[in-house]
């Protein structure tokens, strides 16, 4: 890992060596510019705050698949449980999602970035940033020593905490939910299926998850409006479909974090600054998953920033980043945000009826016919009492959970 001298000027500076910062770095460096990533922690990937469930389809869009040492498990479906325990299964023959070791995944990205020429500076915190006419000035703190560098453009990938972006006057991600997850061993789980539990008493505002990492270990967690730790303990000890399978398991590790359900912030670039990933709210409001969409947006930012430096383009060119990701994904984010709101207002009784209805009928033909997202959301508004329409909307949106 590399050194930057105090009065050095770099082409592209990046805050944070998470998936978003590293993806931007890889794309920027392939434009033949000098890229530095500053990461406050001394080890890439730690501390983790993730369930590591990432769709195979998503990786296809990113243009690579994670190496086998990073993949703990592969699931081919999900079982959805209503508040009172009605369930249905969505399954495919082939694997649908990877369960990743997030530390190894981030380290794999970092190694890849370094091989391409990115300089990663660990244990180096970005303390503050100010924007000049021709440069961005970055104050770094490393082992209690402060020093300054300048960059032609800065990509902020600092994650949900948003300390630097807030100081720069950007808005912050909304509808944040506290989350807790236990890494459990000696539990009884089906290695092929993720389990998702809905209900206001289980996880108000979100859901609880059981993600198998092997046939006797799992990540068990939930996000909720408040008290996620109490709710998670109660879920494991008292839920009648869970307690006998998980209740006697051992908790190997506890992690906490913040899930973003409010969608992207209103503006993700200004002057020489681009915001990517969690700090920009580029996370699925339905599931809290940010690895794929965050990385897809970060790749655009890296490419735009690299080209801006290499071709010495005017600053306004950086707006291409926001224009491009909004064109590609804004509709998707908006639909998911609406669906999240819709799920949040559905009373438990309605969810129960919906799950029961779905578990009894075969919707495959209808889903193929009404699979279009625009159709879904016009339908939601018109058909809150029509169970068939509701079921179709719900089922067509399930692809987002895998
Ligand atoms: C409980 C939980 C479960 C989740 N499960 C999933 C899941 O299953 N699938 C999925 O796709 N997503 C999941 N997510 C979301 C996912 O973890 C995030 O979307 C993803 O980590 C965002 O990546 P990022 O690079 O934007 O931010 P981060 O991964 O948070 O990386 C930001 C980096 O910036 C560094 N940093 C911050 N400030 C500074 C500074 N001032 N100077 C230097 N470095 C700094 C941090 O140390 C960190 O390394 C989950 C989130 C939570 C909370």
Q: What CA–CA distance (Å, rounded) separates 397 from 399?
A: 5
Flag whether pLDDT at 401 surpasses 70: no
- CA–centroid distance, residue 158 to ligand 1 (Å): 8
Which tokens go with 141? Answer: 């703190």
Tell me which of 61, 228, 289, 300 to substitute to probe ligand 1's pocket, judged by most ligand atoms within 8 Å of the beta carbon: 289
Decide: 277 in ligand 1 pocket, CB within 6 A. yes
What value does the mean pLDDT take over residues 251-263?
97
Q: Does domain 176-260 have CATH number 3.30.9.10?
A: yes
Which has more pLDDT, 308 or 378? 308
Q: What is the predicted pLDDT for the residue at 363?
A: 63
Distance from the Cα of residue 191 to its chain's centroid: 23
pLDDT tens, residue by residue, 338-378: 888 888 988 999 889 888 888 887 665 555 454 444 444 55
Mean pLDDT lowest among 99-103, 279-283, 323-327, 391-395: 391-395
Identify the pLDDT of residue 230: 98
**DSSP class of 361:** S
The share of the chain scoring above pLDDT 70, in percent, equals: 88
Helix (H) or strand (E) holding 297: helix 291-310
Q: Which of 147-151, 264-268, 341-345, 398-402 is predicted with the least confidence, judged by mean pLDDT?
A: 398-402
| Ligand 1 pocket residue status of 257, Cβ below 6 Å | yes
Q: Which of 16, 20, 294 is the best mutation target for the ligand 1 pocket, counting ligand atoms within 8 Å of the beta carbon and taking the most?
A: 16
Place of tokens 């993720």: 194
Check pLDDT > 90 for residue 73: yes
SS3 of residue 87 by DSSP? strand
CA angle, residues 397, 400, 402, in degrees to nearest 5: 125
Radius of gyration of the chain (CA): 22
Lowest mean pLDDT among 10-19, 68-77, 378-387: 378-387
Helix, strand, coil content of the chain in percent (nearest 5): 40, 25, 35
Distances in Å between the alpha carbon of 316 and those of 3, 258, 271, 308? 31, 33, 7, 9
pLDDT at 355: 85
**Does 200 contact ligand 1 (Cβ within 6 A)?**
no
Q: Where are the domains of the chain?
A: 9-47+103-172+264-336, 176-260, 343-401
- pLDDT of 135-191, one tens digit each? 999 999 999 899 999 999 999 999 999 999 999 999 999 999 999 999 999 999 999
Q: Look at residue 8 in the predicted model and tell me its pLDDT.
A: 85
Q: Are strands 87-91 and 9-15 parallel, antiparallel or unpaired?
A: unpaired
Task: Give every strand in the sheet of 77-81, ordered side by side.
Answer: 87-91, 77-81, 193-197, 208-214, 217-223, 176-185, 250-260
Q: What is the C-alpha to C-alpha distance for residues 299 and 199, in angstroms, rounded to an integer?
A: 36
Q: Is the dihedral of CA 132, 135, 136, 141 positive or negative?
A: negative
Question: From the CA of 277, how far away is ligand 1's center (Å)?
Answer: 8
Homologous superfamily, domain 9-47+103-172+264-336: FAD/NAD(P)-binding domain (3.50.50.60)
Is pLDDT of 397 > 70?
no
State the DSSP string of 74-135. EE-EEEEE-TTS-EEEEE-SS--EEEE-HHHHHHHHHHHHHHHT-EEEETEEEEEEEE-SS-
**Does the pLDDT at position 313 exceed 70?**
yes
Residue 199's CB: how many other CB atoms inside 10 A? 19
Q: Which of 277, 272, 271 has its CA nearest to residue 298?
A: 277
| Mean pLDDT of all residues belonging to the chain | 91
**Cα 319 to ligand 1 centre (Å):** 24
Helical spans, DSSP H, in 131-250: 163-167, 228-238, 243-246
* pLDDT for 376: 45
Q: Give yes or no on whether 9-47+103-172+264-336 and 176-260 have one common fold.
A: no
Q: Given ligand 1 and candidates 54, 253, 278, which is best to mutate, with the most ligand atoms within 8 Å of its CB?
A: 278
Ligand 1 centre distance from Cα of residue 40 (Å): 13
Backbone φ and ψ for 87, nearest 5 degrees, come out as: -140, 160
Instruction: Check if 156 has its Cβ closer than 6 Å to any atom of ligand 1.
Output: no
Q: What was the pLDDT predicted at 5?
A: 47
């Amino acid at each position: 890992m590399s050194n930057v001298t105090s009065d050095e000027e770099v082409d592209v500076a990046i805050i944070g060596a998470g998936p978003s910062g590293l993806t931007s770095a890889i794309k920027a460096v392939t434009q033949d510019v000098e890229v530095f990533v500053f990461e406050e922690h001394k080890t890439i990937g730690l501390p983790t705050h993730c369930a590591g469930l990432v769709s195979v389809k998503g990786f296809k869009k990113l243009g690579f698949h994670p190496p086998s040492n990073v993949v703990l498990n592969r699931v081919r479906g999900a079982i959805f449980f209503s508040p009172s325990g009605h369930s249905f299964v969505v399954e495919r023959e082939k694997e649908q999602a990877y369960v990743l070791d997030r530390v190894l995944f981030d380290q794999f990205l970092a190694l890849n970035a370094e091989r391409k020429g990115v300089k990663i500076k660990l244990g180096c915190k970005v303390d503050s940033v100010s924007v000049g006419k021709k440069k961005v000035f970055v104050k770094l703190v490393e082992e209690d020593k402060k020093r300054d560098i300048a960059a032609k453009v800065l990509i902020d990938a600092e994650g949900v905490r948003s300390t630097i972006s807030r100081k720069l006057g950007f808005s912050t991600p909304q509808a944040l939910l506290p989350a807790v997850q236990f890494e459990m061993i000696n539990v009884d789980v089906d290695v092929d299926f993720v389990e998702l539990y809905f209900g206001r008493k289980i996880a108000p505002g979100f859901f609880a998850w059981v993600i198998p990492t092997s046939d006797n270990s799992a990540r068990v967690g939930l996000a909720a409006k408040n008290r996620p730790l109490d709710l998670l303990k109660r879920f494991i000890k008292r839920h009648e479909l869970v307690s006998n399978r998980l209740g006697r398991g051992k908790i190997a590790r506890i992690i906490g974090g913040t899930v973003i359900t409010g969608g992207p912030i209103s503006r993700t670039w200004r002057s020489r600054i681009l915001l990517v990933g969690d700090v920009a709210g580029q996370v699925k409001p339905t599931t809290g998953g940010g690895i794929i969409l965050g990385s897809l947006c970060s790749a655009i930012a890296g490419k735009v920033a690299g080209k801006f430096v290499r071709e010495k383009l005017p600053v306004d060119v950086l707006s291409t980043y926001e224009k491009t990701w909004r064109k590609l994904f804004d509709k998707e984010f908006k639909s998911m945000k609406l669906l999240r709101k819709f799920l949040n207002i559905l009373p438990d009784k309605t969810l129960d009826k919906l799950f029961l209805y779905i578990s009894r009928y075969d919707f495959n033909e209808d889903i193929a016919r009404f699979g279009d997202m625009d159709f879904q959301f016009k339908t939601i508004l018109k058909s809150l009492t029509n169970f068939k329409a509701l079921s179709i909307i719900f089922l067509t949106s399930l692809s987002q959970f895998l």
